[in-house]
Amino acid sequence: MASQQSVSCPALFLTAPSSGEGKTTITAALARYFRDQGKVVRVFKTGPDYLDPQILAQASGQDVEQLDLWMAGENYCQQKLFEAAQTADLILVEGAMGMFDGEPSSADLAARFNIPVAIVMNVKGMAQTAAAIAMGLANYRSDISVAGLIANNCGTERHAQLIRDALPESLPMLATLARDPEVALPERHLGLVQAEEVRDELEHRFTLGAEWIKGPLAEANKITELPEPVEFFSAQLPEVEPLLQGKTIAIAKDEAFSFIYDANLRLLEQMGAELKFFSPLHDSTLPEADSLWLPGGYPELHAQALSDNHKMQVQVRDFHLVGKPILAECGGFLYCLEDLTDLEDNCRPMAGLLQGHGAMRGKRGCQGMQTAMLPEGEVQAHAHHRSRSAGTPEPVGYGRRQRHPAPGESIYREKGLTASYLHLFFASNPEAIAAIFSGNLEG
């Protein structure tokens, strides 16, 4: 067994009392600020998130990995941090939800890898109370090192000073950031918009953000200084077998289908697959391929164009009719149904690979971690959608919820098609994923 290696790199974990405190905006601003200083900044995002990493990748100029102790496993997270630390001048990790929310939580991840935590708080509407909340978070657990508080949305210097004066010496003020809607990142119903849609606007906001963190209320800000180094250790990961050697996988990737983990693409290539990307929106033909992956995204926002692209729908149906392997996740699953009704109640025909109808549900939906109980084996996954399906066939399996006994998302099989609302994390079971794309299906 190879001996464990280690490398040190400055690192900071940005977390908050809840969602909506400004974590992504501040993480992106910090990434761009240090990038502008000539530093190599590697950013990680906690949990199964597709949209924040797109934003953070553009801000940092580097690929952004998802880290999740449940979905990816402790060794995987450890190795990714170790690899980043070998080339980075700074590692930033953005947490998910509130600091202690979820099992495992952002706090669990920070504690496991000894990364100092910066508490980001939207202090609009409070002063000394912000210090009290920050102190409660900082002292809730003894295994977490808290670097200090980042007070976001300060109205005036007096407002910032009231919070600063209320903090004990053991909890420094890292930054007081002025209220500035110009730096906030654009959002939509599943979170932030996709970076490709607003690239120029994001560049403008990143430029403003890099100035913002050293702006009028930021004279004493410490976040413009590199944090203390953290020692990261290598981990032993299983060797990837060439289970897809010689296989070509066509992958949908455009404005409608973009919820793709880079880690999933990397694993497919490590298993020997050749990847070819295409657009169900804009292309009229499928690439020559042995199997097809229709990932999640926003098909409901492009339902008319998807429906109007009859040539592509015919190509996908023909691919399915001859029994070739297809994996369809969430938005890809909706594309495979007979039709899709958007938020304005417009119903448009889809590819019709699978019996059933999809419809958007406004603000109500489903999200959470689940294990996909596939006939080929268990794969860690998550669900995040605001739509429903009806009239579908009998499932071949269900997701197993992380903390609830009720069945999770349905999993469907039709010829070579595997379809579900679940987004799969491929590295959690490479053998099962290889079986799906090879067409070696069970059950």
Q: Give me the active site residues, please.
A: 330
Pairing between β-strand 257-259 and β-strand 296-297 as defined by DSSP bridges? antiparallel
Nearest-CA neighbor of 120 among 74, 195, 173, 182? 173
Rounded distance, CA 205 to CA 208, Å?
Answer: 5
Provide DSSP, 66-89: EE-TTTT-HHHHHHHHHHHHTT-S
The H or E element containing residue 420 is strand 417-420
Judge whether 112 and 134 are in contact, CB under 8 Å: no
Rounded distance, CA 385 to CA 362, Å?
Answer: 10
Pairing between β-strand 423-424 and β-strand 173-178 as defined by DSSP bridges? unpaired
Return all residues near 323 (Cβ < 8 A) that are at least 6 apart: 415, 416, 439
Kindly report whether the peptide bond that precedes residue 48 is cis, defined as omega within 30 degrees of 0. no
Provide DSSP, 313-364: HHHHHHHHHTT--EEEETHHHHHHSSEEE-TT--EEE---SSS-EEEE-TT-
Assign 3-state DSSP to the chain and report helix, strand, coil percentages, each to 5.
30, 30, 40
One-letter amino acid for residue 346 of the chain = N
Rounded distance, CA 306 to CA 344, Å?
Answer: 16
Strands (E) across 136-234 are located at 146-154, 173-178, 187-188, 191-192, 229-233
Rounded distance, CA 83 to CA 76, Å?
Answer: 11
